[in-house]
Structure 1
Amino acid sequence: MPSPLPETAVLDLMRRVWETGSERRDRTGVGTRALFGATLRFDLSDGSVPLLTTKRVFWKSAVKELIWFLNGETSIRPLVAQGVHIWTDWPLEKYAKATGEQLSRDEFEARILADDTFAAKWGELGPVYGKQWRRWLGPDGREHDQIAELLKGLRENPASRRHIFTGWNVAELSGMALPPCHMTYQYFVEPRGNGPAKLSGILYQRSCDLGLGFPFNIFEAALLLRMLAQQTGMVPGEIIWMGADVHLYLNHAHLVETLLSREPRPFPKLDLAKAPDLFSYRLEDVTLTGYDPHPAIAAPVAV
């Protein structure tokens, strides 16, 4: 019998969470079913990328978000300008609570784009991912570029066990619109005698919304690994995902049941045009072939 498609493991985990997970009230008040501790592995060496096919994932938004992280951005304005809405709900809720004014998402985003002062006050998310990745503030006031240091380490000391970056800056958590969920990344270089070294990575995710967040998280982690491999002259190996609190929201029953009723299809192949450096990639550099997903499924985000 042929081997099951890689997405089968994701669906198996989803079924296990939905059928056996512990039901709990959570920070959002919506409620979840959750399991603690899960691992998934995806082989990237054949050029494939883990992009779910049992629903259409808007992967171009994920590419834009990853580039936004790598640019060290913390304002929603650059995302909104590109038609990406995935971070708008948090500052919009903060605005509504602070002012009592109920704006629609479109109205709020229009003001973010049109008014510099409004964007500076209400479009900022605090010291979220991009700030920690590129400008981690040390106790001496000096900023640390974790991504630049990671690249330097991969090139100069590939056997190191310290190829790590993280967003979990305890001193700044309270100022973040949302503490990092996909929080720690680590990389492993495997030397090969007959060609370039192989780069594999682990993403440790403290909190994972398996229905909405995971499809973006795993695709972006795989894309980042491909970028790092390209920039360091290596070839991609595996991306390994480790989830701690892995959950599904109780109001996502239609999402879960629809996904579990569908047959997964092969993952697409990813072609990545060479950028001058890690911080110069554009959406146009990313090409997918063979992505044939089932239709998208709408579901609310718990804020």
Structure 2
Amino acid sequence: MEDFYLPYSGRIPDFQYRRVLENILERGIYTKNPFQTKGTFTSVTAPQMEFLLENGAPFITERDISAFWRKPISEIIAFINGARTLDQLREYGDEKTWASWWRRWASEEKCARFGLGAGDLGPGSYGAGYHHNGFSQWAHLVRQIQERPTLRTHKVSPWVSEFCLQHGELQRKVVVAPCHGDVQVIILEDKMILRMDQRSGDVPVGIPSNMIQYTALLLMLAQVTGYKPYMFIHSIHDAQIYEDQVAHARKLISRPPERFHALWITDPNIKDLFAFRPHHFELTDYHSHPAMNDIPVTE
């Protein structure tokens, strides 16, 4: 395994996630979506997070995520491969690692609201969007990076407007319109930078998983193209704390962050982006505050 991390003792505790929480609590505006039962405090000025990989993999330490960190990696791998249904999501992990949280949003009742069958995330979902009209965005992105690394068009997105927008004459065709996944890759000399722009994010619950999966994606892309994973940039356009998460957010802020840890790909011979699975990753040097399993999750 290539060692691009500083020694654990040389890594500096990172406060960027904490600053996003603070920004929402200090500047967030209360809003309520008519399709949800709970309101949120929403900020459109949350600070962009910029993580140099040498300082460790940016998995939050304000609460223990060691019990589920492979789940978001399984999810992004499934989406890259085009997974659209619950059954397809299950194919990219085992009972402990697949992205089982999708069961709550892909029930028969919720799918029916959008004219979809039970377990179908819809043609506007992440996996379907990345492969819309039979075009594999990720396959072509990898080839472009390999052949023309200096281009400024290394960009993919799962957003398909015809399936994600809705009004009186247009039915949405997705159970959850893609919140994350708008990815741009930048190559500077031998270094790879991955930027992920996120249209919307639940900061206490969802954002930590997004930080995990796009760090893993950076490692995967770097390995298959031969570049050094250098930086992950995470920009949240609409950052939220739900009204019943405020006390939990304050508790997270009260906990000083630990040093970041190291995320490794255990098989350096994988050169096919679509071949990675959750078991190909290992987490070391992980130290955190206790888990917070009671943070409410929106329906």
Same fold by TM (over 0.5)? yes
SS in 1 for 2:106: helix
Summarize deviations over 1:200-238 as a string: whole Å, max 9, x none. 011110101111110011111111011000000100111
Residue of structure 2 equivalent to 1:222:
215
Shift of 1:95: 5.2
CA distance in 2, matches of 1:293, 1:78: 33
Residue of structure 2 equivalent to 1:32:
40
Shift of 1:78: 4.3
Q: Structure 1 residue 55 and structure 2 residue 67: aligned?
A: no
Moved more, 228-237 or 36-45: 36-45
Residue of structure 2 equivalent to 1:294:
289
Residue of structure 2 equivalent to 1:205:
198
CA distance in 1, matches of 2:279, 2:159: 31
CA distance in 1, matches of 2:248, 2:103: 22
Residue of structure 1 equivalent to 2:140:
149
**TM (normalized to structure 2)?**
0.84
| Of 226, 235, 240, the match for 1:242 | 235
User: Does the 8 Å contact 2:111/2:121 carry over to 1?
Assistant: no
User: Does the 8 Å contact 1:37/1:242 carry over to 2?
Assistant: no
Shift of 1:74: 0.8
Residue of structure 2 equivalent to 1:67:
77
Summarize deviations over 1:144-193 as a string: whole Å, max 9, x none. 110001001100010111100001110122211111111411010011xx
Q: CA RMSD in A?
A: 2.1
User: Does the 8 Å contact 2:73/2:278 carry over to 1?
Assistant: yes
User: Does the 8 Å contact 1:45/1:235 carry over to 2?
Assistant: no
Residue of structure 2 equivalent to 1:258:
251
**TM (normalized to structure 1)?**
0.83
Residue of structure 1 equivalent to 2:101:
86
Go from structure 1 to structure 2 and tell me whether the alpha carbon gap of 1:269 and 1:96 turns closer, same or farther (over 3 Å shift).
closer
Q: Which has the higher strand share?
A: 1
Go from structure 1 to structure 2 and tell me whether the alpha carbon gap of 1:149 and 1:37 turns closer, same or farther (over 3 Å shift).
farther
Shift of 1:4: 5.7
4+ runs deviating over 3 angstroms: 78-81, 95-98
CA distance in 1, matches of 2:277, 2:250: 35
Go from structure 1 to structure 2 and tell me whether the alpha carbon gap of 1:11 and 1:74 turns closer, same or farther (over 3 Å shift).
same
CA distance in 2, matches of 1:215, 1:238: 17
Shift of 1:93: 6.7
CA distance in 2, matches of 1:188, 1:45: 17
| Of 271, 278, 283, the match for 2:278 | 283
Residue of structure 2 equivalent to 1:131:
128
Q: Which has the higher helix share?
A: 1
User: Which structure 2 segments of 5+ residues have no match?
Assistant: 1-9, 165-171
User: Does the 8 Å contact 2:57/2:262 carry over to 1?
Assistant: yes
User: Which structure 1 segments of 5+ residues have no match?
Assistant: 99-119, 138-142, 192-196
